[in-house]
Amino acid sequence: MQNGSLLATPFLTLPVDPLGERGLLGVAFDPNFATNNFVYVYYTATTPTIHNRVSRFTANGNVAVPGSEVVLLNLDALSTAKHHNGGALHFGNDGKLYVATGDNGDPDNAQTLGNPFGKILRINRDGSIPAGNPFVDRTTGVDESIWALGLRNPFTTAFQRSTGRLYINDVGLQTYEEINQGKPGANYGWPAVEGPSSNPDYTNPVHYYAHNGACAITGGAFYEPDVLAFPSGHYGKYFFADYCAGWIRRLNPETGAVSGFATGLGGPIDLDVGPDGALYYLARGSRLVGRIGYDISQPPVITVQPKSHTVGVGQSVTFMVGASGSTPLAFQWRRNGTAIAGATSASYTRKNVQLTDNGARFDVVVSNAFGRATSDGALLTVIQDAVPSATITKPLAGTTYAGGNVIEYAGTGSDVEDGSLPASAFTWKINLHHDGHTHPAMPATTGSKSGTFRIPVTGETSANVFYRIHLQVRDSAGLTRSVSRDILPRKRTITLATNPTGLQLKLDGRAVTSPYSFVGVVGIQRKLEAVSPQVSGGTTWVFQSWSDGGARIHTIRTPGTNTTYTARFVAQ
């Protein structure tokens, strides 16, 4: 982007694995970019195995120099889990490059120095290991870069330039979202704890919040611009966002006080402070880059123009606009310059369009107490063409799944004018729905009428999940029809018991007291651990055996029937 406009030519194009949360994960500019033109990228490489990589590229104006890639750090090969890659990439005040990595879907990764997952890594600009890294005497290879551990999915981080303070935003599982202060050698406790802990071995978060409509802390930035656009009381404060809740809040690092700042942002995933002193956010749900300025008398500004649409007779069409300015903002949509009664929100849906709407232009006037702004006109093209039909024939309605299953998907599409539509007209996409949000399971893929998708056995362990398969067909006139089908998981109850009862176990690295029951998705891997030795009632108990014959620490796949796993102990 340059001067507020998206450039037609990408700065860099990389071959990546795009499945799930893989792909382009982080970008950072060298502190001396003005003289060396170095740009650092954290991405999911595809060779020789699928793994995450940090590389350096050299910029030439608005594009990267071809062949300028210098690989600095290759992480271990990724498992079949397609989420929890972390992604934050920033230079600290010490000139070192800090890389935030997720646990790769295995919580125990976060507590071992034997791999780089669930960590903050620290390297020199040339990829070498800084002498001051805290675990260099206990690790080898890439693991020497480990600077802190015990993280689940640190999607975003931020440095405060005035102090060198590092804040790490760690996405939680079911209970809390955390902001942790980066410290060399710190252990933030995942998977043993979410939020604060009384265990002195773990570093507690500086702030945490519960999942009350929230689900993922996904953006953070300290407000310390060269140009101060907000009141001076904002200087030095930390802004952070939540993806599901769609809000931005403000944290005072000195007092810990938190206050609201902005709402209704449509899935924010990143925050940054611009050179103009405004706060910018990237909204995945709204598909826009938003700007928040500060002016008690700021007139409206159109930030996202309405798009033109082509539809068939009888279809519906929705126009949307983005705007900023002092609140409250008022909206009035117009058709060919005439106000439309009741069309007074940021979007306008026109139902059952007819040929009389062909060629009409729709714009919107946005106003507040300090002025008004009129959007560009969006052209509506209505054609006398039937909308294509689309049907998902596989999987059948009511299909359920277990981890490891291969799901076949297939569909048909036809059009009155075109007849049976070719494979090139089909686009498939699959999302994993978890609680109130989604994870991409298969990116939009065009060019086939059928295919297969394997349900992972690792990764998300929650039972509150399902997959939604989307099919869109497009005819030669550009009209589309979209349909979807949900497949639900088969679930069973697992009980963890001990003999004698009441002893401690671990499930996926998290401590539980027996007996403990939970619902799991059939076929999904879970890690069981008998804590040994342990003291209870003044007696020391030592693990003897599991009822399924597994080792003290072993992995199971959730069975197809309700099952109890009992760990037997003997007194020492």
Q: What confidence score (pLDDT) does residue 4 get? A: 67
Among 98, 280, 282, 255, residue whose Cα is nearest residue 184:
98
**pLDDT grade for 233, boundaries at 50, 70 and 90:** very high
pTM higher than 0.75: yes
Asked if the structure places residue 6 within a domain, the reply is no
Q: Where are the alpha helices (DSSP H) in 374-505?
A: none
Q: Is residue 4 part of a domain?
A: no
In a domain, 537, yes or no: yes
The percent of residues above 90 in pLDDT, for the chain, comes to 84
pLDDT at 83: 87
* CA dist 336 → 228, 310, 378, 518 (Å): 41, 17, 10, 59
* DSSP assigned state of 300: P
Same domain? For 258 and 327 the reply is: no
Say yes or no: 81 and 175 in one domain.
yes
One domain for residues 337 and 373: yes
Instruction: Check whether 12 has a pLDDT greater than 70.
Output: yes
Decide if pLDDT at 3 tops 80.
Answer: no
How many domains does the chain contain in total?
5
Q: Region 216-245: what's the mean pLDDT?
A: 94
CATH of the domain at 30: 2.120.10.30
5, part of any domain: no
**Which helix (H) or strand (E) covers residue 33, if one does?**
helix 33-36
- Which band of pLDDT confidence, cut at 50, 70 and 90, is reported for residue 328? confident
What's the CA angle centered on 329, arms 327 and 333, to 5 degrees? 170
> Do 204 and 93 share a structural domain?
yes
Domain end among 247, 269, 294: 294
Same domain for 336 and 226, yes or no, is no
Over residues 376-389, the mean pLDDT reads 94
Residue 187 falls in which region: left (phi positive, over 0), alpha (psi -120 to 50) or beta: beta
Mean pLDDT of the chain: 94
Nearest to 376 by CA among 434, 464, 308, 432: 308
Task: Report the CATH number that the domain containing residue 240 is assigned in CATH.
Answer: 2.40.10
Identify whether residues 322 and 285 lie together within a single domain.
Answer: no
Q: Give the mean model confidence (pLDDT) for residues 307-320.
A: 93
Residues 256 and 186 in one domain: no
Task: Give the range among 49-53, 81-85, 503-507 with minimum mean pLDDT.
Answer: 81-85
- Whose tokens are 């009209």? That residue is 479
Q: Do 164 and 182 fall into the same domain?
A: yes
Q: What distance in Å separates the CA atoms of residue 556 and residue 523, rounded to the nearest whole number?
A: 9
Report d(CA 164, CA 233) in Å as an integer.
20
Q: Is residue 236 part of a domain?
A: yes
Of 167, 196, 211, the residue at which a domain comes to its end is: 211
Residues 40 and 161 grouped into a single domain: yes
Q: pLDDT tens digits for 245-265?
A: 999 999 999 999 999 998 888
Owning domain of residue 352: 304-383
Q: List pLDDT tens digits, range 457-469.
A: 988 899 999 999 9
The CATH number that applies at residue 551 is: 2.60.40
- Last residue of one domain, picked from the residues 158, 189, 211: 211
List the structure tokens of 59.
Answer: 């910029």
Same structural domain, 466 and 396: yes
- Beta-carbon contacts of 495 under 8 Å, excluding residues fewer than 6 positions away, are 515, 516, 517, 562, 563, 564, 565
Residues written for the chain: 572
Q: What is the pLDDT of residues 134-193, one digit of tens each?
A: 999 999 999 999 999 999 999 999 999 999 999 999 999 888 999 999 999 999 999 999
218 and 181 co-located in one domain: no
Q: Does residue 312 form part of some domain?
A: yes
Q: What percent of the chain has pLDDT over 70?
A: 99
pLDDT band at 297 (very low <50, low <70, confident <90, very high): confident
What was the pLDDT predicted at 445? 95
Lowest mean per-residue pLDDT among 19-23, 348-352, 420-424: 19-23
Domain membership of residue 393 (yes or no) is yes
> Residue 289: what pLDDT?
86
> Which residue in 99, 86, 102 sits closest to 130, CA to CA?
99
For 92-120, give one letter per residue: b (16+ CB within 10 A) or e. beeebbbbbbbbbbbbbbbbeeebbbbbb
The reply to whether 541 and 475 lie within a common domain is: no
Residue with the bigger pLDDT between 328 and 336: it is 336
DSSP letters for 347-410: EEEE-S--GGGTT-EEEEEEEETTEEEEPPPEEEEEES-PPPEEEEEESPTT-EE-TTPEEEEE
Residue 346: band (very low, low, confident or very high) from pLDDT cuts 50, 70, 90: very high
pLDDT in tens, 522-565: 999 999 999 999 999 999 999 999 999 999 999 999 999 999 99
**How confident is the model at residue 285, as a pLDDT?**
81
Residue 328 lies in a domain: yes
